[in-house]
């Protein structure tokens, strides 16, 4: 009873039961003693196998593997020592307890030398024997668990080594002095240095001199846990290893994003403080991302065609100049420059040659301005210039005359001379306005005044020139009547998948049948609609018309077909915007996925949370969202992760840079890479030549639109193409039938 209580107490302390019952070999030539031992061991869960001789024991060893053996030394056919030798010869390693009546000390020593766990002399105390059996099994269990732990540890270490060395990131450790104590194998591919070249070197030896202060601050902070340094960007030196895979190295340096965590010893039992041991960190190469962000950011502030500042940067600089002029009681002048007869050149020679002339015009204008002046291209053939720190109006007149004289010289295009001129309006601070908008608007009015007087000249703004704004009032009245008279019509420009040469969608483009001006494109009247506050009404009309046309086309196969309609920022800001969209979809019974809403990227930085909420509701309802004119304005790439976009549209201004002679378009490459990284569809607009199509297709852009494929056509033409299985493209585009559609209009 006592030994049963002991075993029960030991069972309570044992861990979870093994998946197999321990197997015991009982070898004794006395049947009575074997049976007695077997009965004694019933209180322990064992799979007991008995043998009365050495031969029987050897036979059982050949059939099974044993965890424990109770072995008598005095057997009729062989000694217990011989059986122990046979056990080892068979590659088994059970725990062996010798149970023998032999009192010879040499027998006991021989058994122990052969690895016996214990030696019990007959007669024995049952409780003592049971305790020894239990101890042997416990030792066996602990040894097995220890082997498993060592195996798991070895496997874990191998896996850790593999993960660390195969990581796409550089993983390192620094000692408490800031010297490399460990670097994974990624170092050579990323930095061009072998691990051995970095070990023992101080990390500051590899940091760009302009980033030394930030690097020292990051490492000296020694933060850990949630306060550890995160996403610190540093420029690091590169080696010259041929194994280096990075091609974004600039001036011998690349940019990394770094996470650094301080390493400390555990707090000692006697209360001594933790000791700083060094730093653990992970570095990721972000050079390509930084280059792409720089490209996108650059083109947010600069004109892609001329490399001049765009309207955004011009206004920023003008705002600063106004502040400085106010503080110093100085004057400044703003010029609005519009080219005369440029449309004739553009229509005669085409868009590519027109762009060539604009680049030459920009170069000539830059040669006329002073250091400190800002020249910008506002769009099309419109330029703006402001002159800070002038003393009198005649200072601006000197620059204006230089510009007129410079542009009078002939331009040579296709070995033919062309002549253009320009009209210049001038507004002065502070008498003509105190804000960038008012100065630019008044310079614009002065420019229109000189155009009405015969062009090719300049004039200063005067209050009586504002009568020209009467034209705006006339256009506003005409627009309001256009709604009542039903003068708007929706045209559609097909979008093609160049891999299948089939139409996969189209973009809705609004037209106005003006009673006296004829058919007007969106770019010709949208500005007036925005000025008159009619843009929301126009968006509502366009959305309803697109839904109506989609319903009419429903008889055709519209799977994988979509119609994109541009949405004004003001319309998106409307409180009932989401409900109006969904009500139209429901009322006309169209599939939500066939409707794609295009928004311009500048929406992304206005009321971000509201924009995300509205667009997410529409996306959850099945509608597609596209970002238009990507790269022409500034918006953080971080918002692309948060906004539910499906498509990025490459602006036509980037596509126009691609031609037969210079197939270089780094911004397009960056945009396609960003879209691919975010899992978004990408469409290029403004494709006009086979070279542009082939170049874009090579970069991975499959979907395109432009005059190479088709001009905008009435809805009836789209229905005809849908009836012919989405009208496969036959390569016969219509580049000569170009219309001045603005990609930012409905």
Chain-centroid distance, C-alpha 714: 38
Q: Do residues 97 and 128 both lie within one domain?
A: yes
The set of long-range contacts for 295-303, using a CB threshold of 8 Å and a minimum separation of 24, is: 295/631, 295/666, 295/667, 295/670, 296/631, 296/637, 296/667, 296/670, 296/671, 296/674, 297/634, 299/631, 299/632, 299/654, 299/667, 300/631, 300/632, 300/633, 300/634, 300/635, 301/634, 303/376, 303/377
Pick the most confident of 193-197, 234-238, 410-414, 536-540: 536-540
> Residue 535's domain spans which residues?
472-737
pLDDT for res 249: 63
Strands 374-379 and 331-340: unpaired
Contact 644, 616 (CB under 8 A): yes
pLDDT per position as a tens digit, 77-86: 888 888 888 8
At 504, is the pLDDT very low, low, confident or very high (cuts 50, 70, 90)? very high
Q: Do residues 550 and 584 both lie within one domain?
A: yes
Q: Do residues 725 and 624 both lie within one domain?
A: yes
Using CA atoms, how far apart are residues 525 and 565, in angstroms rounded to an integer? 17
Higher pLDDT: 167 or 578? It is 578
The set of long-range contacts for 151-154, using a CB threshold of 8 Å and a minimum separation of 24, is: none
Contact 337, 446 (CB under 8 A): no
pLDDT for res 639: 61
Q: Please report, for the domain that includes residue 449, its CATH number.
A: 3.30.70.270
- Kindly report whether the peptide bond that precedes residue 69 is cis, defined as omega within 30 degrees of 0: no
Higher pLDDT: 628 or 480? It is 480
Asked if pLDDT for residue 97 goes beyond 70, the answer is: yes
pLDDT for res 14: 43
Range of weakest confidence among 96-110, 167-181, 349-363:
96-110
Question: Cα-flanking dihedrals φ and ψ of residue 567, to 5°?
Answer: -115, 130
Q: Which of 257, 285, 313 corresponds to the end of one domain?
A: 285
DSSP states of 307-349: --B-HHHHHHHHHHHHHHHHHHT-EEEEEEEEEESHHHHHHHH
Tally of domains in the chain: 4
pLDDT for res 513: 94
Stated length of the chain = 746
Q: Give the bridge partners for 23, in sequence order.
A: 47
Strands 382-390 and 331-340: antiparallel
At 425, is the pLDDT very low, low, confident or very high (cuts 50, 70, 90)? very high
Higher pLDDT: 182 or 633? It is 182
Contact 643, 604 (CB under 8 A): yes
Contact 44, 8 (CB under 8 A): no
Calculate mean pLDDT across residues 319-325: 93
Q: Do residues 206 and 307 both lie within one domain?
A: no
Q: Do residues 534 and 638 both lie within one domain?
A: yes
CA atoms within 13 A on the CB side of 177: 7
Cα–Cα distances (Å) from 501 to 349, 496, 709, in that order, read 29, 6, 10
Q: Which of 285, 313, 347 corresponds to the end of one domain?
A: 285
Cα–Cα distances (Å) from 673 to 34, 604, 667, 699, in that order, read 80, 20, 10, 9
Q: Please report, for the domain that includes residue 271, its CATH number.
A: 3.30.450.20
At 596, is the pLDDT very low, low, confident or very high (cuts 50, 70, 90)? very high
pLDDT for res 159: 74
Q: Do residues 315 and 372 both lie within one domain?
A: yes
pLDDT for res 242: 56
Q: Do residues 115 and 211 both lie within one domain?
A: no
Asked if pLDDT for residue 739 goes beyond 60, the answer is: no
pLDDT per position as a tens digit, 324-360: 999 999 999 999 999 987 877 776 677 888 899 999 9
Asked if pLDDT for residue 564 goes beyond 90, the answer is: yes
pLDDT per position as a tens digit, 280-300: 888 888 888 888 777 887 888
Cα–Cα distances (Å) from 304 to 9, 363, 376, in that order, read 84, 14, 12
**Consecutive H or E run containing 227:** none
Q: Please report, for the domain that includes residue 657, its CATH number.
A: 3.20.20.450
Asked if pLDDT for residue 745 goes beyond 50, the answer is: no
In a domain, 154, yes or no: no
Q: Do residues 393 and 369 both lie within one domain?
A: yes
Contact 51, 57 (CB under 8 A): yes
Q: Which of 666, 32, 22 is nearest to 304 (CA)?
A: 666
Using CA atoms, how far apart are residues 404 and 423, in angstroms rounded to an integer? 8
pLDDT for res 15: 40
In a domain, 687, yes or no: yes
Buried b (16+ CB within 10 A) or exposed e, 30-66: eeebbeebeebbeebebebbbbbbbebbbebbeeeeb
- What tokens does 702 get? 């499959």
Using CA atoms, how far apart are residues 631 and 377, in angstroms rounded to an integer? 16
Pick the most confident of 112-121, 198-207, 379-388: 379-388
In a domain, 153, yes or no: no
Question: Cα-flanking dihedrals φ and ψ of residue 267, to 5°?
Answer: -65, 130
pLDDT for res 18: 44
pLDDT for res 563: 95
Q: Which of 225, 252, 223, 251 is nearest to 238 (CA)?
A: 252
At 640, is the pLDDT very low, low, confident or very high (cuts 50, 70, 90)? low
Q: Compute the chain's Rg from CA coordinates.
A: 42
pLDDT for res 11: 44
In a domain, 162, yes or no: no
**Consecutive H or E run containing 185:** none
pLDDT for res 718: 92
Q: Do residues 449 and 490 both lie within one domain?
A: no
Higher pLDDT: 103 or 589? It is 589
Q: Do residues 381 and 449 both lie within one domain?
A: yes
Token match 């705002």: residue? 319
pTM for this predicted structure: 0.45
Asked if pLDDT for residue 223 goes beyond 90, the answer is: no
At 634, is the pLDDT very low, low, confident or very high (cuts 50, 70, 90)? very low
Longest CA span, the chain: 134
CB burial of residue 328 (10 Å; 0-12, 13-18, 19+): exposed
In a domain, 208, yes or no: yes
CB burial of residue 272 (10 Å; 0-12, 13-18, 19+): exposed
Compute the mean pLDDT over every residue in the chain, rounded to the nearest whole number.
83
- What tokens does 72 get? 């008598």
Buried b (16+ CB within 10 A) or exposed e, 105-125: eebbebbeebebbbbbeeebe
pLDDT per position as a tens digit, 266-281: 766 666 667 888 888 8
In a domain, 357, yes or no: yes
pLDDT for res 728: 59
Q: Do residues 203 and 142 both lie within one domain?
A: no
Sequence-distant (≥ 6) Cβ neighbours of residue 644 within 8 angstroms = 612, 615, 616, 618, 619, 625
At 451, is the pLDDT very low, low, confident or very high (cuts 50, 70, 90)? confident
Calculate mean pLDDT across residues 634-652: 74
pLDDT above 70 as % of the chain: 85
In a domain, 155, yes or no: no
**Consecutive H or E run containing 274:** none
Contact 719, 556 (CB under 8 A): yes
DSSP states of 157-179: HHHHHHHHHH-SSEEEEEETTSB
Q: Which of 242, 257, 285 corresponds to the end of one domain?
A: 285
- What tokens does 390 get? 């002038």
Q: Do residues 212 and 185 both lie within one domain?
A: yes
In a domain, 70, yes or no: yes
Q: Please report, for the domain that includes residue 33, its CATH number.
A: 3.40.50.2300
């Amino acid at each position: 009873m006592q030994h049963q209580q002991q075993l029960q107490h030991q069972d309570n302390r044992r861990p979870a039961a093994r998946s197999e019952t321990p197997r015991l070999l009982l070898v004794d030539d006395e049947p009575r003693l074997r049976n007695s031992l077997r009965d004694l061991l019933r209180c322990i869960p064992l799979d007991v196998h008995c043998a009365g001789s050495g031969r029987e024991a050897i036979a059982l060893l050949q059939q099974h593997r044993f965890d424990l053996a109770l072995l008598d030394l005095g057997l009729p056919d062989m000694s217990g020592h011989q059986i122990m030798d046979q056990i080892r010869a068979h590659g088994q390693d059970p725990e062996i307890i010798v149970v023998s009546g032999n009192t010879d000390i040499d027998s006991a020593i021989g058994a122990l030398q052969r690895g016996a766990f214990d030696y019990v002399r007959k007669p024995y105390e049952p409780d003592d024997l049971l305790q020894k059996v239990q101890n042997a099994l416990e030792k066996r269990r602990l040894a097995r668990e220890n082997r498993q732990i060592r195996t798991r540890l070895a496997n874990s270490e191998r896996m850790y080594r593999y993960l660390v060395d195969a990581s796409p990131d550089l993983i390192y450790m620094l000692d408490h002095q800031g010297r490399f104590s460990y670097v994974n194998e990624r170092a050579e591919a990323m930095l061009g240095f072998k691990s051995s070249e970095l070990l023992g070197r101080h990390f500051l030896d590899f940091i760009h001199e302009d980033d030394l202060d930030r690097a020292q601050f990051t490492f000296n902070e020694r933060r850990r846990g949630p306060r550890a340094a995160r996403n610190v960007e540093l420029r690091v030196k590169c080696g010259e290893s041929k194994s280096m895979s990075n091609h974004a190295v600039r001036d011998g340096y690349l940019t990394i994003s770094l996470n650094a965590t301080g390493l400390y010893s555990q707090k000692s039992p006697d209360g001594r403080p933790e000791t700083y041991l060094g730093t653990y960190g992970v570095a990721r190469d972000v050079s390509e991302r930084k280059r792409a962000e720089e490209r996108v950011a650059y083109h947010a502030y600069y004109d892609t065609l001329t490399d001049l500042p765009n309207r955004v940067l011009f206004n920023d600089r003008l705002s600063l100049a106004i502040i400085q002029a106010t503080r110093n009681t100085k004057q400044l002048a703003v010029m609005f420059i519009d080219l005369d007869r440029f449309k004739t050149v553009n229509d005669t020679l085409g868009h590519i040659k027109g762009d060539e002339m604009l680049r030459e015009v920009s170069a000539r204008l830059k040669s006329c301005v002073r250091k400190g002046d800002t020249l910008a291209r506002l769009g099309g053939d419109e330029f703006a210039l402001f002159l800070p720190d002038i003393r009198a109006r005649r200072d601006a007149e000197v620059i204006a005359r230089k510009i007129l004289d410079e542009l009078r010289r002939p331009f040579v295009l296709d070995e033919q001379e062309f002549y253009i001129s320009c009209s210049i309006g001038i507004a002065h601070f502070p008498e003509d306005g105190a804000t960038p908008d008012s100065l630019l608007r008044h310079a614009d009015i002065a420019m229109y005044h000189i155009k009405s007087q015969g062009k090719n000249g300049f004039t200063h703004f005067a209050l009586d020139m504002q009568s020209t704004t009467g034209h705006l009032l006339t256009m506003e009245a005409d627009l309001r009547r256009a709604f009542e008279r039903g003068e708007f019509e929706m045209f559609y420009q097909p979008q093609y998948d160049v891999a299948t040469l089939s139409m996969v969608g189209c973009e809705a483009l609004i037209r106005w049948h003006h009673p006296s001006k004829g058919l007007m494109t969106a770019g010709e009247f949208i500005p007036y609609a925005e000025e008159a506050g009619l843009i929301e009404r126009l968006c509502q009309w366009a959305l309803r018309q697109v839904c109506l046309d989609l319903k009419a086309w429903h008889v055709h196969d519209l799977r994988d077909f979509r119609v994109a309609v541009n949405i004004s920022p003001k319309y998106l800001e409307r409180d009932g915007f989401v409900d109006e969209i969904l009500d139209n979809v429901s009322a006309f019974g169209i599939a939500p996925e066939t409707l794609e809403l295009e928004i311009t990227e500048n929406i992304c930085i206005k009321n971000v949370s509201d924009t995300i909420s509205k667009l997410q509701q529409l996306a959850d309802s099945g509608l597609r969202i596209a970002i238009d004119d990507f790269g022409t304005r500034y918006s953080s790439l971080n918002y692309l992760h948060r906004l539910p976009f499906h498509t990025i549209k490459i602006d036509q201004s980037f596509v126009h840079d691609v031609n037969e002679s210079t197939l270089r378009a780094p911004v397009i490459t960056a945009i396609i890479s960003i879209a691919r990284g975010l899992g978004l569809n990408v469409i290029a607009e403004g494709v006009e030549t086979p070279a542009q199509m082939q170049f874009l297709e090579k970069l991975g852009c499959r979907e395109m639109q432009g005059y190479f494929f088709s001009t905008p056509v009435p809805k009836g033409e789209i229905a005809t193409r849908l009836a012919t299985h989405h009208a496969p493209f036959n390569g016969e585009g219509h580049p000569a039938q170009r219309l001045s559609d603005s990609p930012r209009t409905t």
